[in-house]
Structure 1
Amino acid sequence: MYNIKIGKPLLFAALALLTACHKKDKGSSTPTNTTLSLADRTKDTLYYIFKDEYLWTDAIPDYNTFKPHSIDSLEPELDALMSYKRDSLDPTKAKDHYSFLDDGSVSEALDQGRAGDFGFNIGFYNYDDIRSTYVYPGSPAGLAGVKRGWKLTAVNGDTSLYYDLNETTGHGTNYDRLVDAFYYSSQTAFTFLKPDNSSVTVNLTTTTYDINPLLYSNIFNFNGHKIGYFVFNSFLSLDIVKSRLDSLFGAFASAGVTDVIADIRYNGGGAVETSEYLANLLAPASVGTNTKLMYTEYFNSALINKQYNAYTKVMRIENGQYKLTDEYDYLVENNIAKWAKAGTLSPNNVVFIATGQTASASELLINNLKPVLPAWHQVGTYTYGKPVGFIGITIGGKDMYAISFSIKNSQNVGDYYYGLSPDGGTETYEDAREDFGDTQEVYLHQALNILGITDAQLGSRLRGHDFNPYLRPSVNQDFSLRAFKGMVLKLPHQGLHK
């Protein structure tokens, strides 16, 4: 997905983070107490709003125990608040590695479908093998001709790219240089080794471009067995992507597609309304319209019982037009989604391609469809594990996304904090050398095999991996955490409910 720029103190301290979303409010007002400095009033606001909306609010200490004024700034304050809820299986770790502060880039990307980065992503496929994993058309990288699978060999002329991150300190000389060049620089020279063994250097400058999350689609025809395949990279707001999805599934239906492969390996989530719509496109006609439950959202007791503190009671959003408590009340009272079949396609089988970068609204898609599909499969690796979402509130010039709700499907399943499992719990590690749509690409090949397409029909055999699969996934996953991960529910007044 698009990349999120956040403060570096937070970057390494809490970067297992990134999102599940609702629409972010704009222009929030805060209570005024002239006896305190603006900085301390802002810290108080963050504490009280966080405590009211936080899903695990019971774990948060009272104001006098927490002492928000004793903390230097908002980033370490949020870090401290996130640390109180512990992981039940490993109490040495915090359960919340999701909540975060953002500079506004999340809402710009989701609401407007625009990003302002280089327009491609990279992944480690061994300690010394970095590949371009996808490229957005029309982005700086796309216009420069960068392709998936190209090997990164130098950044700004420096070939020292060996993975050296120290997991204790969160730093490494080479690693920090790469992070700075990729995420925090407006101009960077990237040198790639192409599949034909030629080398090319592209000088990229960040610029704003329109995101097209539908990276690839095709209809495979194997002796009359028609299989629709698409790579969907981000759940942007529905009004941005609906026409693309309608056109895609209309083409599938017209061609007589019977099975679908949904490739969401890099999809970190986005708008819940878009995840719902895609689910309704993939669902069988038997789900009907507004009769059968799709999922339920769960909030904390403070929101359910309207037990708001004084700060929350006077908080207003959308340039002061609406009370925050009214927005909370709406969410709690409208916490159920029902199926509403879209389109005419009713696939017999759906295969999901998913990885550790598949998160939040993408996991929601899989989890919601499991109870209703005639047959489904999942290939790749375990997903990220994020069955929770946020309500985004602007505080002190930052958008705070605190975990505020959980979601369960129609069978009351939703606590997949350790990810959704591929078939049989067997993970297959990615080889990014093949492009999307290449039947020798390991995940697509496996998905086609599941749907009854034989190796003989697919032609040449898969080439062997040239990396250590026990090293590569953890290395790649660490770097991918800098990409947006979330699910977004729209509030009635254009706020972002994440």
Structure 2
Amino acid sequence: MKKFTILLLTCITVFTITSCFEDMDDIAVSNVQINNFVWKGLNVFYAYKDNIPDLANDRFSSNDNYSNYLNSYSSPEALFESLLYLPNDVDEFSVIVPNFLDLEQQLQGTSLNNGMAFGLVKLPNAAEDIIGYVRYVLPNTDAEAKGISRGMIFNTIDGIRITETNFRDLFSPTTYTIGLADYDNNNTTETRTDDVITPNNTSITLTKSEYTENPILTHNVLNVGGSSIGYLMYNGFRIGNDNLDELNNVFAEFQSAGISDLVLDLRYNGGGSVDTAIWLASMITGQFTGEVFFKEKWNSDILAQFEQNNPDALLNPFVTQMTKQNSDGDITYQQSINSLNLNKIYIITTGSSASASELIINGLTPYIDVVQIGSTTRGKSQASRTIYDSSDFSRENVNPNHMYALQPLIYEAQNADGFSEFYDGLSPDPLFEISEFYENLNQLGNPEERLLAEAIADITASGRTGISSQQPEPLKQISDQNFENPFRFDMVDDRPLESNIFQQ
């Protein structure tokens, strides 16, 4: 994998890049000092800088003008949010955090977790009340030990009905008790207006502990109707080297089994590492090595520097090896990729599928037949990275006076056809648009599970299941177990920065 490099002038004009304001370096930590870092970071990296007049290189005519601007914001958060582009439509993902240690831990997939992965939905006939449904259970967790299983329905926490306004508070404690309920559709699968949720007087107390989730939830080879079908439930594109060997080994198993087709289940996958997405796409294919998987569309300043000095660095090709390097260019991880050379893939999605999951779909589409099954994805084509307050915005020699860091969008990932503007998500063909059946979810990887069964029916040409023609109206998704994680839909480009650029 190429080293992440950007070539940028230190100061574009006298008053533009705020590294030129040396008088700021000596003041005690304050909102102004942190605001200075916020503006600098976004001025350099922000993908939509060209759309934000206050980030223009010629925005300030003097030091005083710039200093007054920083002083006009009461907090770093207020400044940061004022500089985002269409935060309700295009950029609802850029984040500022007061403690980068928390950010790093969340990006690595480590959190306090009781092991119950759930979704929260609202019935059409409900006022404010919402219900929870168990999506899956993580191994070696309290939820597994307490007998929680996929498909369980609950509507109270500690005896309190769950609503759109209180669920964040109810799920926040380290320990809480869920009240189970039964879902009755009144034998009308085509409508939700008469569905009823009835408490069944069963409660289960769950306790969170620190946990790092393995993104590979389950995988197997299904032999159905003479077809050998690989199935992989993948729940996160892990940042770092953890689980990469395991993912590659899954594809070695698929190779050995001689699978003819692959069903990649990304229905709950909010994203993660850009590198891992490139490698997974290369595992799925293998016949397109060196061809462009995706192109990086940065702001005009960075794009111009790339195009002048190293245009190939904007291109991310399919590869034959997984390789990671440190900031000195030393290889820290390397392994040959096990590839399937497929010309067609089935990918299961929901509104919880985002960023790197969408990159897989969008990046593969120009090359192979991608059959998307489920519902429309989240809609996030942009990558982000962590920006620290240091001389080159890297983690090394970070400013010891504060712990703030930024996680802004830095570029849009365009496929080989130049397409990246799917802000409303990627939708399946109407023939394959299917929602989960909450009253009978079935087990993930079971050939009879609703969404997987549709893929199998198409693979085996055994006749459509008829599921898509008997659709109940979809329930409104409110949130899931990751609601406290602002990075749950991140696509992170964590490739190292060169140490001699971005000097402040």
Q: Pick the TM interval, shorter chain.
A: 0.7 to 0.9
Cross-structure match for 1:287: 288
Cross-structure match for 2:323: none
Selected match of 2:104 from 98, 102, 107: 107
TM-score by length of 1: 0.74
Once the two structures are TM-superposed, the CA of residue 195 in structure 1 deviates from its matched residue by 9.2
Q: Deviations over 1:325-375 (max 9, x none)?
A: xxxx999873221112431423353100011111111111111111222x3
Q: Distance in 1 between matches of 2:367 and 2:468?
A: 36
Q: Distance in 1 between matches of 2:121 and 2:450?
A: 14
1:369 aligns with 2:364: yes
Q: Which amino acid in the other structure matches residue 314 of structure 2?
A: N
Q: Deviations over 1:144-198 (max 9, x none)?
A: 332221111320122x22xxxxxxxxxxxx333321122x322222233489996
Q: Distance in 2 between matches of 1:110 and 1:494?
A: 21
Q: Percent identity?
A: 24
Cross-structure match for 1:121: 117
Q: Distance in 1 between matches of 2:364 and 2:287?
A: 12
1:412 aligns with 2:408: no
Q: Report how many aligned residue pairs link the two structures.
A: 416
8 Å CA contact retained: 1:136, 1:211 = yes
1:444 aligns with 2:452: yes
Is the alpha carbon distance of 1:94 and 1:51 closer, same or farther for their aligned partners in structure 2, counting shifts above 3 Å? farther
Q: Distance in 2 between matches of 1:418 and 1:464?
A: 24
Is the alpha carbon distance of 1:412 and 1:39 closer, same or farther for their aligned partners in structure 2, counting shifts above 3 Å? same
8 Å CA contact retained: 2:95, 2:407 = yes
RMSD over aligned CA atoms reads 3.5
Q: Which amino acid in the other structure matches residue 41 of structure 2?
A: I
Q: Which amino acid in the other structure matches residue 338 of structure 2?
A: G
1:490 aligns with 2:467: no
Q: Distance in 1 between matches of 2:310 and 2:116?
A: 35
Cross-structure match for 2:443: 435
8 Å CA contact retained: 1:233, 1:264 = yes
What 5-or-longer segments of structure 2 have no aligned partner?
5-18, 124-129, 185-198, 321-336, 390-401, 500-504
Q: Distance in 2 between matches of 1:402 and 1:148?
A: 35
Question: Helix, strand or coil: the match of 1:68?
Answer: helix
1:177 aligns with 2:166: yes
Q: Deviations over 1:427-478 (max 9, x none)?
A: 322224222123332211211122135369x8xx96999x9625x13x3368
Q: Which amino acid in the other structure matches residue 360 of structure 2?
A: L
**How does 1:40-59 map onto structure 2 within 5 Å?**
40-59=32-51
Question: Helix, strand or coil: the match of 1:340?
Answer: coil
1:394 aligns with 2:388: yes
Question: Helix, strand or coil: the match of 2:281?
Answer: helix
Q: Deviations over 1:76-130 (max 9, x none)?
A: 2222211xx349xxxxx5532111124444422444x533233333223433432
Q: Which amino acid in the other structure matches residue 376 of structure 1?
A: V
TM-score by length of 2: 0.73
Q: Which amino acid in the other structure matches residue 210 of structure 1?
A: T
Q: Deviations over 1:28-55 (max 9, x none)?
A: x997444576221111211221122111
**How does 1:119-198 map onto structure 2 within 5 Å?**
119-127=115-123, 128-158=130-160, 160-161=161-162, 174-182=163-171, 184-193=172-181
Q: Distance in 2 between matches of 1:453 and 1:41?
A: 64
What 5-or-longer segments of structure 1 have no aligned partner?
1-21, 23-28, 88-92, 162-173, 308-328
Is the alpha carbon distance of 1:176 and 1:331 closer, same or farther for their aligned partners in structure 2, counting shifts above 3 Å? farther
Q: Distance in 2 between matches of 1:156 and 1:349?
A: 47
Higher helix share: 1
Once the two structures are TM-superposed, the CA of residue 306 in structure 1 deviates from its matched residue by 6.2
Q: Deviations over 1:241-271 (max 9, x none)?
A: 2221122111112112100000001101001
Q: In terms of Rg, which structure is larger?
A: 2
Q: Deviations over 1:285-332 (max 9, x none)?
A: 4213xx32222112112334569xxxxxxxxxxxxxxxxxxxxx9998
Q: Which amino acid in the other structure matches residue 491 of structure 1?
A: R
8 Å CA contact retained: 1:53, 1:302 = no
Question: Helix, strand or coil: the match of 1:228?
Answer: strand
Q: Distance in 2 between matches of 1:263 and 1:490?
A: 24
8 Å CA contact retained: 1:123, 1:480 = no
Cross-structure match for 2:31: 39
Q: Which amino acid in the other structure matches residue 417 of structure 2?
A: Q
Cross-structure match for 1:403: 409
Cross-structure match for 1:210: 212
Question: Helix, strand or coil: the match of 1:67?
Answer: helix
Q: Which amino acid in the other structure matches residue 434 of structure 1?
A: N
8 Å CA contact retained: 1:234, 1:268 = yes
